[in-house]
Amino acid sequence: MRIGMVGLGRMGGNMAERLRRGGHEVIGYDRDPRVSDVGSLAELVDRLQPPRTVWVMVPSGEPTRAVVAELAELLSPGDLVVDGGNSHYADDRGHAERLGAKGIGFVDVGVSGGVWGLHQGYALMVGGTEEDVRRLMPIFETLKPEGEDGFVHAGGHGAGHFAKMVHNGIEYGMMQALAEGWELLEASDLVTDVAGCFRSWRSGTVIRSWLLDLLVRALEEDEELSRLRGYAEDSGEGRWAVQAAVEHAVPLPVITAALYARFASRQPDSPAMKVVAALRNQFGGHAVTSAEGGRAKGADSPGADVAPPIETEK
């Protein structure tokens, strides 16, 4: 097939290369002229023969909405737009309606595989009509890993990105569990080979997984992870998963806690913990640490003022 690819970053560029290796003709457009085959979206559309297929791999939100809006004006009835980025599922129905009014098809695809996808294939979670999905199957077959797994037509418009959102939420929880396990092992005086523990778990255990393999790889490169700062961004899909859980009244304690842990990682000095420390000092006289790093006396420390007596109701 001939396909246009908009966005040739780490994911889009590797996906375009995998498609080319699979025998497809890919015409790529990117704002970076060093990697782009054409100078504009209009030129990209002109280079494709009807019925055209354009796959969009740009950041979610306004960048994706802007590209889809521009394509709606450039494409013709019978053409097809694929959003393979990490878009919010709620945007997909709007795109489908806007493009459908002009006779243009729309398919949303949640893509997982990261930088390894070029060689190992990409897991694809697809939303759209049976007709549009069937038309894209040669592309999907090339992008997905070999074998039966790695692809699902999850449902109608929005289902692909909804499935990917849940996938990423699960990923948040799994990564957080591995991270907490590593921290606890590091804190123990009993365990002297933390990295070895994780290596040993790769075979014969119920927690063996690709994420565990990647953690072992990271520890082999830097056993103490001393070159890293304890700061983690979130892609947005963890937030959307928690929001969707509230809307559907589905409890997500693990995924929610993992998301909040990422928020906490961005606070060099937690405002909430300041309140907790102040309250502990007030009600229990517990010592607190000053902003300058010194340790202030608590109410029960030698030389501290005696805490006022508690008045009882008369």
The model's pLDDT over 174-184, given as tens digits with 9 standing for 90+, comes to 999 999 999 99
Of the candidates 17, 43, 70, 171, the residue annotated as catalytic is 171
Tokens representing residue 192 in the block: 């002297």
Residue 295's pLDDT is: 52
Q: What is the pTM of this model?
A: 0.87
Strand partners, 126: 109, 153
What's the whole-number mean pLDDT along residues 153-160? 98
For range 4-10, the mean pLDDT: 96
The pLDDT score that the predictor gives to residue 306 is: 45
Residue reference for tokens 């309606």: 97
The pLDDT-based confidence of 314 (bands split at 50, 70, 90) is very low
In the residue annotation, 102 being an active-site residue is answered as: no
Average pLDDT, the chain: 90
Tokens of 180: 């907490």
Q: Domain 2-156: what homologous superfamily?
A: NAD(P)-binding Rossmann-like Domain (3.40.50.720)
Model confidence at 162, pLDDT cuts 50, 70, 90, reads very high
Pick the catalytic residue from 17, 164, 274, 292: 164
In the predicted structure, residue 48 carries a pLDDT above the cut 80:
yes
* Average of per-residue pLDDT across 20-26: 98
Please, where are the H alpha helices in the chain? Answer: 10-21, 41-47, 62-74, 89-100, 117-120, 130-143, 159-187, 194-200, 210-221, 237-248, 253-265, 271-284
Asked whether the CA dihedral 185, 223, 203, 255 is positive or negative, the reply is positive
The domain locations on the chain are: 2-156, 164-265, 269-298
Looking at domain 164-265, its CATH class is mainly alpha
The arithmetic mean of pLDDT across residues 283-296, rounded, is: 66
Q: What is the mean pLDDT of residues 62-68?
A: 97
